[in-house]
């Protein structure tokens, strides 16, 4: 294994935010502790740790500390315990068991570019309520996750632009009241080596100043030939209880990720078969793309009185993706022999900066005999992006390779073309209001609306590419009703809208109208087994219009005239079947298709969307006896057939089932050992596709071992 030593330059930056918290009992101060003791057990807060697999509260769906059982929306929470039990190193490993969340384009192994939920591909996701998907971010590291909250259906009313299928919010680890230091290490038989540090505690005697520091270093080979990776990350968090009423939080995440651009396998129609999943048709000496990401948040919470809380925040993102790579020339780049791939050598430098400002006010009051939780907020975001991509000639014979028997070390062709050289700026201004009203003890209503304006400017330095500007206003309302049939069973209905700006210019030279979506959802929530197990089910229909389609006058341009539709059913479960046996997973049925397009047939399937998917993680931990501290588990994932592109003619990725085995042993309060076998049956499959050309293969059977030691 090749090892590379690099130095991390940690940039200092600042930025703010807050989740407005619901005041359930009068309090005069904000506490540093994540949990408080109530009655006989620990009281869970919406941003704090989850006890086991069963979360009871969430801030992501309403931006207030609200019971999941009382929220009229399908929500899944993947806790830190799930992440640890899985031996997860990346956020996507945890998403696999969130229920109905699929993998899509990973941009050649660079990160979590897009994922799928409820029939739609989306790239909008958040960290502590701030958007973190700007540019080409690294895959978030599992070492920083306290809880991962998946929201199904539109989240536009609270968070702004996005697809109507859903999104997720990462709640990061926060400082603890007691000093603790945990060192961890994970190794696998594919060549991965990983070390982590998680340290926390107070910095003064009163506990008003506290810290959390997560550090990760990772490197080694992968199952893909000649594809090695490096990752280094530092994530500091500082909390300061400035007064009894005011709390300030600084959080940073500085990540360096080095990885070749690995598009996976090719899937051309005239291809003479499928190479083995480890075959790399790039070049072993082409180098890595260097993906550097910096994030800083500065958040505050200030209690105006016992009923009203003011919160705010600023987030700064800065990133670059730079280096050499090799890609196929396009849809017709496989020669007639079915094995010779015409490639291009290229260089790219992508740079982005994003600044996001938020200010929220939350109040709890009663009027007319009804209890209200009122949330109002304003937000401003300024996103800058610029890129340059240079490529070698696309002429046949310039840089070919045999995809079944690649010969590496060819002379790199010169960079003769610059097809991409541009910059863009997107500004958004938003204000929203939301009211949660308890009409009776059992009947509750959630209503809100967001007004958002965006201004989008694009300029290209490539000859013949026209600049464009687009600006529009959008109002995205949301209405939900939930009714408790019993103390543990509730039914709900929800309706919401979404919008997302389109990119590009029309034949006339102007920008496009934004995509607009609407969603209708009905469901049931059940707190079973003495409220230790959550079970929820929902049916939904989502429609999206103003999808870009081919201009009927000039096929080189597009018009915002397409429409797509998704409808289906999902079932999710999380919690404890017994004190020893915990589970999390879900089933999703999705019927997603094109309903209107100028070139695509009605009924065309959407890219990367399986009709059926299922996941379930089971873990049994012995609580006493000779086996006390031993945990044994199994996870199963089934993903149905998927289309390799939203097109009249597209390749299909076959259905697959993956079974994972996991085990751990808590030697004592300080030492935890784990041994996991992932993809037990070594099934060959494809995770996701891109552009009707590429499909990324799933990993083979992998044995992973690790240790965590708490000082």
Lowest mean pLDDT among 19-23, 274-278, 476-480, 552-556: 19-23
Give me the mean pLDDT over the 639-667 stretch: 96
Return the beta strands (E) in 529-623 as ranges. 533-550, 558-576, 581-596, 612-621
**In the structure encoding, which two tokens stand for residue 643, read together?**
């289309």
Helix (H) or strand (E) holding 284: none
Smallest CA-to-CA distance from 547 within 506, 577, 515, 572 is with: 515
How far is it, in rounded angstroms, from Cα 175 to Cα 218?
24
Q: Is the dihedral of CA 557, 562, 568, 572 positive or negative?
A: positive
- Check residue 163 and give its pLDDT: 93
- Choose among 219, 226, 221: nearest CA to 191: 221
Q: 363 with 436: CB under 8 angstroms?
A: no
> pLDDT (tens digit, 9 = 90+) per residue, 478-517?
999 999 999 999 999 999 999 999 888 787 777 888 999 9
pLDDT tens-digit readout, 97-135: 999 999 988 888 887 778 999 999 988 999 999 999 999
pLDDT category of residue 42 using cuts at 50, 70 and 90: low
Residue 12 has pLDDT above 70, yes or no: no
Torsion angle, CA of 130/136/262/252, rounded to 10 degrees? Answer: -60
CA 20 to mean position of chain CA atoms: 22
Question: In whole angstroms, what separates CA 627 from the centre of its chain?
Answer: 37
Whole-number pLDDT of residue 18: 35
Distances (CA, A) of 486 to 71, 163, 443, 490, 528: 15, 34, 11, 7, 12
Token pair listed for 492: 């709900």
Tokens of 613: 């998917």
> Using one digit for the tens of pLDDT, what is the confidence trace for 549-579?
888 888 777 888 899 999 999 999 999 999 9
pLDDT (mean) for 611-630:
96
- Residue 300: band (very low, low, confident or very high) from pLDDT cuts 50, 70, 90: very high
Residue 302, C-beta contacts closer than 8 angstroms, at least 6 positions apart: 245, 246, 247, 309, 310, 311
3 pLDDT exceeds 80?
no
Closest CA to 645 of 692, 605, 598, 592: 692
- Whose tokens are 């997107």? That residue is 426
* 8-state DSSP, 143: G
| Residue reference for tokens 């993102």 | 317
* pLDDT number for residue 140: 85
Tokens of 584: 């999390």
Q: What percent of the chain has pLDDT above 90?
A: 84
Predicted confidence (pLDDT) at residue 703 exceeds the cutoff of 80:
yes
CA nearest to 685, candidates 637, 645, 649, 650: 637
Interatomic CA distance for residues 76 and 82, integer angstroms: 12
Spatial distance between the Cα atoms of 58 and 69, rounded to a whole number of angstroms:
10
d(CA 348, CA 390): 6
pLDDT of residue 2 exceeding 60, the answer is: no
DSSP one-letter string for 236-264? EEEEE--SSSEEEEEEEEEEEEEE-----
Q: Is the pLDDT of residue 81 over 90?
A: yes
- Please tell me the total number of residues recorded for the chain in this structure: 711
| Rounded-to-integer distance, Cα 243 and Cα 221, Å | 50
Single out the residue of 695, 64, 59, 660 nearest to residue 364, CA to CA: 64
The whole-angstrom separation of Cα 322 and Cα 683 is 34
Q: Average pLDDT for residues 38-52, to the nearest whole number?
A: 71
- In this model, does residue 34 exceed pLDDT 70? no
Section 48-58 average pLDDT = 92
pTM beyond cutoff 0.85: yes
- pLDDT for the residue 45: 86
| Mean of the per-residue pLDDT values of the chain | 91
pLDDT in tens, 345-354: 999 999 999 9
Query: What's the pLDDT at 339?
Result: 97
Question: Per the structure block, which two tokens stand in for 184?
Answer: 């961890």
pLDDT score for 38 = 38
Q: Is the pLDDT of residue 15 over 60?
A: no
Q: How far is CA 518 from the centre of its chain?
A: 22
The pLDDT assigned to 1 comes to 40
Residues 386-405 pLDDT 10s: 999 999 999 999 999 999 99
The answer, yes or no, to whether residue 602 has pLDDT greater than 70, is: yes
607 vs 10, more confident: 607
């Amino acid at each position: 294994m090749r090892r590379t030593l690099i130095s991390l330059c940690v940039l200092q930056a600042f930025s703010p935010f807050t989740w407005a918290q619901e005041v359930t009992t009068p309090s005069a101060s904000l506490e540093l502790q994540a949990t408080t003791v109530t009655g006989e057990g620990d009281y869970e807060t919406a941003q704090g740790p989850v006890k086991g697999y069963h979360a009871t509260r969430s801030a992501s769906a309403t931006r207030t500390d609200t019971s999941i059982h009382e929220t009229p929306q399908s929500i899944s929470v993947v806790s830190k315990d799930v992440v640890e039990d899985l031996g997860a190193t990346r956020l996507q490993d945890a998403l696999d068991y969130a229920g109905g969340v699929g993998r899509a384009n990973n941009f050649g192994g660079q990160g979590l570019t897009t994922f799928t939920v409820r029939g739609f591909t989306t790239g909008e996701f958040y960290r502590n309520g701030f958007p973190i998907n700007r540019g080409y971010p690294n895959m978030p590291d599992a070492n920083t996750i306290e809880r991962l909250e998946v929201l199904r259906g539109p989240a536009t009313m609270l968070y702004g632009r996005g697809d109507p299928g859903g999104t997720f919010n990462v709640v990061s680890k926060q400082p603890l009241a007691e000093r603790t230091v945990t060192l961890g290490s994970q190794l696998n038989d594919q060549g991965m080596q990983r070390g982590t540090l998680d340290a926390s505690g107070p910095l003064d005697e009163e506990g008003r100043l506290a810290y959390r520091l997560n550090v990760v270093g990772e490197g080694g080979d992968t199952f893909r030939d000649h594809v090695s990776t490096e990752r280094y990350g530092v994530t500091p968090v500082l909390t300061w209880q400035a007064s009894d009423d005011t709390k300030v939080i600084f959080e940073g995440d500085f990540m360096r990720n080095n990885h070749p651009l690995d598009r996976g396998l090719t899937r051309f129609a005239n291809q003479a078969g499928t190479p083995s999943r480890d075959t790399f048709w790039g070049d072993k000496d082409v180098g890595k793309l260097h993906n550097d990401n910096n994030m800083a948040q500065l958040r505050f919470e200030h209690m105006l009185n016992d009923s009203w809380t003011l919160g705010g925040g600023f987030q700064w993102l800065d990133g670059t993706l730079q280096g050499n790579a090799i890609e196929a020339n396009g849809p017709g780049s496989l020669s007639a022999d079915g094995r010779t791939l015409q490639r291009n050598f290229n260089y790219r430098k992508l740079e982005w900066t994003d600044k996001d400002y938020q200010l929220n006010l939350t109040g709890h009051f009663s009027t007319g005999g009804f209890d209200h939780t009122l949330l109002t907020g304003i937000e401003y975001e300024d996103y800058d992006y610029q890129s340059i991509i240079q490529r070698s000639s696309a002429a046949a014979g310039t840089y070919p390779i045999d995809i079944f028997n690649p010969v590496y070390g060819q002379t790199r062709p010169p960079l003769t073309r610059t097809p991409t050289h541009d910059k863009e700026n997107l500004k958004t201004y938003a204000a929203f209001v939301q009211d949660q009203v308890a009409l009776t003890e059992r009947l509750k209503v959630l209503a809100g609306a967001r007004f958002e304006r965006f201004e989008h400017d694009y300029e290209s330095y490539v000859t013949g590419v026209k600049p464009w500007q687009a600006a529009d206003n959008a109002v995205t309302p949301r209405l939900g009703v939930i009714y408790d049939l019993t103390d543990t069973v509730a039914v709900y209905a929800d309706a919401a809208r979404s919008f997302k700006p389109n990119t590009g210019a029309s034949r006339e030279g102007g920008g496009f109208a934004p995509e607009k979506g609407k969603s209708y959802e009905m469901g049931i929530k059940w707190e079973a087994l003495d409220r230790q197990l959550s079970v929820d089910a929902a049916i939904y229909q989502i429609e999206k219009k103003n999808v870009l389609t081919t201009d009927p006058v000039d096929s080189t341009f597009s018009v915002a005239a397409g429409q797509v539709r998704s409808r289906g059913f999902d079932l999710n479960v999380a919690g404890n079947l017994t004190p020893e046996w915990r589970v999390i997973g879900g089933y999703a049925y999705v019927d997603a298709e094109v309903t209107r397009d100028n070139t695509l047939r009605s009924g065309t399937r959407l890219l990367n969307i399986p009709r059926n998917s299922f996941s379930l993680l089971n873990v049994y931990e012995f609580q006493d006896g000779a086996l006390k501290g031993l945990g044994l588990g199994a996870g199963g994932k089934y993903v149905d057939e998927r289309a390799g592109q939203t097109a009249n003619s597209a390749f299909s990725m076959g259905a697959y089932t993956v079974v994972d085995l996991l085990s751990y042993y808590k030697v004592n309060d300080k030492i935890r050992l784990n041994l996991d076998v992932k993809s037990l049956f070594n099934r060959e499959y494809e995770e996701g596709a891109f552009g009707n050309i590429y499909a990324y293969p799933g990993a083979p059977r992998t044995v992973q071992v690790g240790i965590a030691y708490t000082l």
